[in-house]
Amino acid sequence: MKTLKIAIQKSGRLNEKSVELLKNCGLNFENYKSSLISPVSNFPLEILFLRDDDIPEYVQDGIADLGIVGENVIEETEVEVNYLQRLGFGKCSLKIAVPNNNTINELSQLNGRSIATTYPVILGKFLKAQGIQSDIRTISGSVEISPGLGLADAICDLVSTGGTLKSNGLIPFADVMSSEAILICNNKNGDSELIKELVQRIQSVLRAKETKYVVLNVPKDNLPAIIALLPGVKSPSVVPLAESDWVAVHTVIPERDFWDRISQLKQAGAQGIVVMPIEKIIL
Ligand code: ATP
Ligand code: MG
């Protein structure tokens, strides 16, 4: 059987979460910082640890079959690859920011101004679509200090919390793109059985992350009101308790509206609520 190769970031913001995701899929491999390639002992897969900038091209050229990389890097390198799965981590936005003492407050005011960035391709397309002509200054790092040095009037850089911008006296001004880590594959091999198996494992881990397993005790009379509040994977399981007019309800609740649901359940008579993380959900 052919051994697949998946390229992930060697070190940096996506490394830890990429390794964690693959380990949660039950893949067994050593994560030596010094090695470039690590075989998986229980799946026909090898892990390549690379600079993130190189991942899209490695996948496009078939040197790696799969890759985990930020959408921003894929767009900037303009490669032809298949998007298999959005992974929900490494979330950030590419934003244009200006010094906070600046009078620029609409996009058209960027006409004729200079913007420093490490993302000239994405920024160029964005400005063209907006009909704006700016001078794009491509630099390789520390973009946020360029207005202070007099190198540019504005910057276009990745932002997650906005802390770096703020500490450099910059305010975000326009959103160029939002990004997260994506699982990509080479255009030719998206329907390989091994890739499908791996994607299914990844999806079962992601699904589990979005949900919690909840067990709660309810007086039997309150059961219809409680069940009406529960979405569940199918319908909730109801288990009898030693005390005959009480039951335990087992269900799965989406993480995003978790606290709202819990307070509604308490109001409807639920007690002794136990919440547990879920490892995998296989549909
Ligand atoms: P490499 O050494 O692999 O080239 P890098 O320095 O280019 O790494 P990192 O800073 O580790 O890259 O960021 C990797 C990815 O993490 C980015 O391309 C982006 O998709 C994502 N990311 C999430 N939040 C941020 C942020 N605040 N700033 C930069 N990147 C972010
Ligand atoms: Mg990089």
Strand order across the beta sheet in which 237-240 lies? 237-240, 246-254, 211-219, 271-277
Q: What is the pLDDT of residue 232?
A: 60
Residue to mutate, 51, 52, 93, ligand 1, most ligand atoms under 8 Å from C-beta: 52
CATH number of the domain to which 236 belongs:
3.30.70.120
Could you tell me if residue 103 is inside a domain? yes
Residues 242 and 7: their CA atoms lie apart, in Å, by 53
Q: Is the CB of 73 under 6 A from ligand 1?
A: yes
Ligand 1 centroid to residue 35 C-alpha, Å: 21
Residue 84 Cβ < 6 Å to ligand 1: no
79/98 same-domain check? no
Q: Is 160 found in the same domain as 129?
A: yes
72 and 204 share one domain = yes
Q: Does 56 contact ligand 1 (Cβ within 6 A)? A: no
* Alpha carbon nearest to ligand 1 atom 17, residue: 70
From the alpha carbon of 159, which atom of ligand 1 is closest? 27
> Mutation test of ligand 1: which of 92, 156, 168 has the most ligand atoms closer than 8 Å to its C-beta?
92
Q: Given a cut of 70, is residue 185 above it in pLDDT? A: yes
One domain for residues 185 and 85: yes
Q: Per the domain annotation, does 282 fall within a domain?
A: no
Are 32 and 151 members of one domain? Answer: no
**pLDDT on residue 233:** 57
Cα–chain center distance at 95: 18
283 — pLDDT class (breaks 50, 70, 90)? confident
Claim to verify: residue 96 and residue 215 sit in the same structural domain: no
Range of the domain at 204: 4-89+180-208
- Same domain, yes or no: 117 and 250: no
With a 6 A CB cut-off, is 182 part of the ligand 1 pocket?
A: no
| Residue 283 lies inside a defined structural domain of this protein | no
pTM for the predicted model, two decimal places: 0.90
Q: Report if residue 249 sits inside a domain.
A: yes
Tell me, what's the pLDDT at 43?
97
CA of 51 to the centre of ligand 2 (A): 6
Instruction: Give the tens place of pLDDT for each residue, 211-249.
Output: 999 999 999 999 999 999 887 656 789 999 999 999 999
C-alpha angle 183-188-189 in degrees, rounded to nearest 5: 60
User: What ligand is nearest to the CA atom of residue 11?
Assistant: 1
Q: Are residues 187 and 251 in the same domain?
A: no
The average pLDDT across 143-166 equals: 95
**Whether the CB of 158 sits within 6 Å of ligand 1:** yes
Task: Count CB atoms within 10 A of the CB of residue 116.
Answer: 25
CA 282 to CA 226: how far, in whole Å? 26
The whole-angstrom separation of Cα 21 and Cα 66 is 14
Interval 151-155 mean pLDDT: 96
* Residue 142 and residue 189 in one domain: no
3-state secondary structure the chain: CCCEEEEEECCCCCHHHHHHHHHHCCCCCCCCCCCCEEECCCCCEEEEEECHHHHHHHHHCCCCCEEEEEHHHHHHHCCCEEEEEECCCCCEEEEEEEECCCCCCCHHHHCCCEEEECCHHHHHHHHHHHCCCCEEEECCCCHHHCCCCCCCCEEEEEECCCHHHHHCCEEEEEEEEEECEEEEEECCCCCCHHHHHHHHHHHHHHHHHCEEEEEEEEEHHHHHHHHHHCCCCCCCEEEECCCCCEEEEEEEEEHHHHHHHHHHHHHCCCEEEEEEECCCCCC
User: What CATH number did the domain enclosing 141 receive?
Assistant: 3.40.190.10
**CA atoms of 44 and 203, how far apart (whole Å):** 19
157 and 196: one domain? no
Supply the residue whose CA is at minimum distance from atom 22 of ligand 1.
90
Q: What's the rounded Cα separation, in Å, for the pair 88 and 104? A: 33
Total tally of structural domains belonging to the chain: 3
- Report the pLDDT value the prediction gives residue 126, as an integer from 0 to 100: 98
Render pLDDT for 59-111 as a digit per residue (tens, 0 to 9).
Answer: 999 999 999 999 999 999 999 999 999 999 999 999 999 999 888 889 999 99
Same domain, 139 and 79: no
**Do 101 and 132 have their domain in common?**
yes
Output the residue whose Cα is nearest ligand 1's atom 29.
158
Ligand nearest the Cα atom of residue 70 = 1
What does the pLDDT read at residue 190? 63
**Average pLDDT for 179-184:** 98
Q: Pocket of ligand 1, candidates 9, 51, 94, 158: which has the most ligand atoms within 8 Å of its Cβ, to mutate?
A: 158
The separation between the first and the last C-alpha atoms of the chain, rounded to the nearest angstrom, is 26
